[in-house]
Amino acid sequence: MAESSALVRSFVGVSVPALPIVNTVLRKLNAMGTAIKTVQEATLHVTLKFLGDVPADRIAPIGNAIAKSAANFSAHRIELHGIGTFPDERRPSVIWIGLKPVETLVTLASEIELAMCDFGFEPESRAFSPHLTLARVKTKPPSTLFELIEAHRRTPFGDFAVEEVKLYRSELTPGGPVYSVLKTCPLSSV
């Protein structure tokens, strides 16, 4: 059993299945060399709230609060649609796929945000912008990145069911982050 002083790097998210066309785009991004660091297909997710380092003895009550929030929302489907970048197209640092509709996800994230305030987490200063991160840009990207973004700006990538929210542990390793599920919090049935 973990000591109460141990810290668990964690976040709240929704897992996203590795749809075939998304995997194709990930492979193309991966082929662009070391300038682009792609997300692993098996770890695709939408982050609802990053918690950071949390004392291990607070994980269970935090998970229970997330489950209570999640139970107030019905399972629903979300479409993955179009590629974009943060902070802007000329100097991208994050490459993402958009989601629609996002209203339920935004409200769910807001409810979780409020629940986490009870545990001393500061509310986010910026508005929640739901997206699926595909890759991070580490150095000056090749021109093929901009061609890929333009080619998929409006591509429909498919849809998936949002049936649960997960509290994840994130362990940073030299090969990239490794995620494990600490708690699965089902949404209510439709």
Is the peptide bond preceding residue 87 cis, with omega within 30 degrees of 0? yes
With a CB cutoff of 8 Å and minimum separation 6, the contacts of 42 are 18
Domain count, the chain: 1
**Domain assignment present for 2:** no
Per-residue pLDDT tens digits for 118-157 = 999 999 888 899 999 999 999 999 999 999 999 999 999 9
- Residue 2 pLDDT: 43
Kindly state whether residue 53 falls inside one of the protein's structural domains. Answer: yes
Q: And the tokens for 180? A: 């494990």
Instruction: Please tell me the predicted confidence (pLDDT) of residue 3.
Output: 46
Q: Which of 155, 141, 21 is nearest to 89 (CA)?
A: 141
Query: How confident is the model at residue 1, as a pLDDT?
Result: 41
Q: What is the DSSP string of the chain?
A: ---TT-EEEEEEEEE----HHHHHHHHHHHTT-TTEEEPPGGG-EEEEEEEEEEEGGGHHHHHHHHHHHHTTSB-EEEEEEEEEEEE-SSSEEEEEEEEE--HHHHHHHHHHHHHHHTTTPPPPSS----EEEEEEE-SPPPHHHHHHHHHTTT-EEEEEEE-EEEEEEEEEETTEEEEEEEEEEEPBP-
Determine whether 81 is an active site residue: no
Tell me if residue 131 is catalytic: yes
Query: How high is the pLDDT of residue 174?
Result: 85
Domain with 137 in it: 7-186
Give the separation between CA 190 and CA 188, rounded to whole angstroms: 7
- Given a cut of 70, the residues of the chain with pLDDT beneath it are 1-5, 190
pLDDT on residue 89: 85
pTM: 0.92
So what's the pLDDT on residue 189? 78
Is 116 domain-assigned?
yes
pLDDT of residue 177: 87
Is residue 18, in this structure, part of any structural domain at all?
yes
Tell me, yes or no, whether 1 lies in a domain: no
CATH number of the domain that residue 83 is part of: 3.90.1140.10
